Structure 1
Amino acid sequence: MRGSSAKSLDATLSAVSAVPGSSAAQVGAELFGVVAALDGAIAARRLLSDPSIETEGKRSLVAGIFGGKVGADTVSVLEAAVAGRWAAGRDLTDGLEIAGVAAYTRSADAAGQGDVLENELFEAGQVIHGSAELRQVISDRSVPVGAKTTLLRDVFGGKVSSATLALLTQAAVARTGSFERVLDIFSRQVAAREDRLVAVARVAYELDDAERDRLTAALSRRYGRSIQLNTVVDPSVIGGIAVSVGDEVVDATMSTRLEAARRRIAG
């Protein structure tokens, strides 16, 4: 987000940071519920993001729509959100979704499970990506969200934390893009809580601890940031490594070098 929406998002996230860690997960769940409600109520969303309406009027509208349906901590976040200036009504709901992720992240950190949340999101994403049938269902926009939620609960319930399952389920709604794209955005947001970047390394074999430490240190030096390193074992790379950090990809795999050589020979 940019401009006024970015400033409004910052204020909304500041309100999330003031929520006690013990109730942050509930706030996250309620914010996701609010997003779903406003996505289905365009008129209300427009009113809540209308810059010509006074803040008090918007807060009264929040109370009228959500009063008694969400807790006081969630109301405080909603009030911070509607007090801002959003470039579009969709920016408001996108911001509230981001705030929901932040709330779940705060809950995980308060429980000492922040790193667990990061790792579980990545590993669950790999499981879905590696199953053509599962990936097809989760990515199919014609499949009802309720059916996707049930499927994700059946596959991951009891195997990942409740926060991870909640973020997977929200990513499956695919409000701002494909499931995989949204999950990647959520994962980056979780990592960013400690000013970390997420790096994904594609390798031919599982790295040992020493190799992971060396690669992490090298990437940290290059980007000047702490790195959350995730690895994907892909025998097709033959040797070498391909690393993606955000939109930047450094491909030093043997398979890529062989393909480049073949193209040069072919002219």
Structure 2
Amino acid sequence: MDFRGASAEAVAALTDELVGLTGSGEGADALADGLFTVSRTLRTEPALRRFTTDVSVPAEAKQGLVRQVLGGKVSDSTVGLVASAVARRWTRSHDLPDAIEHLSEVATVRSSASDAGRLADELFSFGQLVQQNPELRDALSDPARSTADKTALVDSLLSGKALPATVTLAKQALAGTYRTVSVALAEYQKVAAAVRDEGVATVRVAKPLTDAETSRLADALQRAYGRPIHLNQLVDPEVLGGIKVEIGDDVIDGTIASRLDDARRMLAS
């Protein structure tokens, strides 16, 4: 999600508050559920959203309404964090529900604690499964299918095989906040990496890297970018040999296919 100006400042401050609330991850899953519920409520109740983002309304009035509406329906920590959110300035009114949903994603990642690296891997693997299976992709995006039906499908694929946090985020991807389920899963990977202060690289190879090769590549990228880099490894037959690394807008192409293309262009010129 893209936040700018006052909204970006608010999200940063609220994220710090969330980290203080969740500590080592205990209670983060309940907080995540509550925040996601609130984000949906704000989207489906435009009058509530307008009131809580209206700069002419005193912060105390907004917080009072939040406590009245949410009290007893979500945890006290959720109410407190949302009350803090409505007291802040937002660049656009829809930034508030987007920010609260983003906080629910952060809380879900934090609930995985020391398994955050595994969470990122599982999100990537499920994202690849969705992209490479047209029938599954259509089933998860079909507006004629109920959310309950889609949720049951995700459960059948992941429950008992993946972390609870992975299952939670996979179901949250069905909400339609992002353009597609695949886009949502990719964004969740970025959140998982950001929580661990990591970058994310997609590594395309002709065959899986060995543990030693993976370690050397991760070390080299960490030196180049000044922070740890989480590697998403993708076996791609078109690579032929070598590797292609994509980090944000940066592309490091050391594949045989790339060198052959360069040679063809030189011969054609």
Matched, 1:52 2:56: yes
Distance 1:136 1:107, change over 3 A: same
Q: Secondary structure at the match of 1:12?
A: helix
- The residue aligned with 1:211 is 213
2:191 to 182, 189, 192: 189
1:4 to 3, 6, 11: 6
Moved more, 21-30 or 10-19: 10-19
Q: Secondary structure at the match of 2:21?
A: coil
CA apart distance, 1:231 = 0.3
CA apart distance, 1:188 = 1.0
CA-atom RMSD, angstroms?
A: 1.8
Moved more, 250-259 or 117-126: 250-259
Superposition TM-score, scaled by structure 1 size: 0.92
Query: What amino acid is the match of 1:34?
Result: V
Q: Is the 8 A contact 2:206 2:241 kept in 1?
A: yes
Distance in structure 1 (CA, Å) of the matches to 2:98 and 2:204:
31
Q: Is the 8 A contact 2:63 2:84 kept in 1?
A: no
Gaps of 5+ in 2: none
Distance in structure 2 (CA, Å) of the matches to 1:262 and 1:135:
37
1:220 to 209, 219, 222: 222
- The residue aligned with 1:157 is 159
Matched, 1:25 2:29: yes
Matched, 1:137 2:123: no
Superposition TM-score, scaled by structure 2 size: 0.92
Q: Where does 1:85-104 land on structure 2 (aligned, <5 Å)?
A: 85-104=89-108
Distance 1:258 1:142, change over 3 A: farther
Count matched residues: 265
Distance in structure 1 (CA, Å) of the matches to 2:55 and 2:28:
29
CA apart distance, 1:195 = 1.5
Distance 1:261 1:173, change over 3 A: farther
Q: Deviations over 1:217-252 (max 9, x none)?
A: 111111111111110111221111111112322233
Q: Deviations over 1:38-70 (max 9, x none)?
A: 111111111111111111111111122211110
Distance 1:139 1:246, change over 3 A: farther
1:236 to 235, 238, 245: 238
Q: Secondary structure at the match of 1:229?
A: strand
Q: Secondary structure at the match of 2:200?
A: strand
Moved more, 190-199 or 173-182: 173-182
Moved more, 243-252 or 24-33: 243-252
Query: What amino acid is the match of 1:98?
Result: H
Q: Is the 8 A contact 2:67 2:83 kept in 1?
A: no
Distance in structure 2 (CA, Å) of the matches to 1:7 and 1:151:
38
Q: Deviations over 1:185-243 (max 9, x none)?
A: 21111111221101110100010011101111111111111111110111221111111
- The residue aligned with 1:43 is 47
Query: What amino acid is the match of 1:57?
Result: A
Q: Is the 8 A contact 2:130 2:182 kept in 1?
A: no
CA apart distance, 1:166 = 0.8
- The residue aligned with 2:74 is 70
Matched, 1:202 2:181: no
Q: Secondary structure at the match of 1:18?
A: helix
CA apart distance, 1:5 = 0.4
Runs of 4 or more off by more than 6 Å in structure 1? none
CA apart distance, 1:173 = 2.0
Distance in structure 2 (CA, Å) of the matches to 1:142 and 1:54:
42
Distance in structure 2 (CA, Å) of the matches to 1:172 and 1:128:
12
Distance in structure 2 (CA, Å) of the matches to 1:28 and 1:201:
31
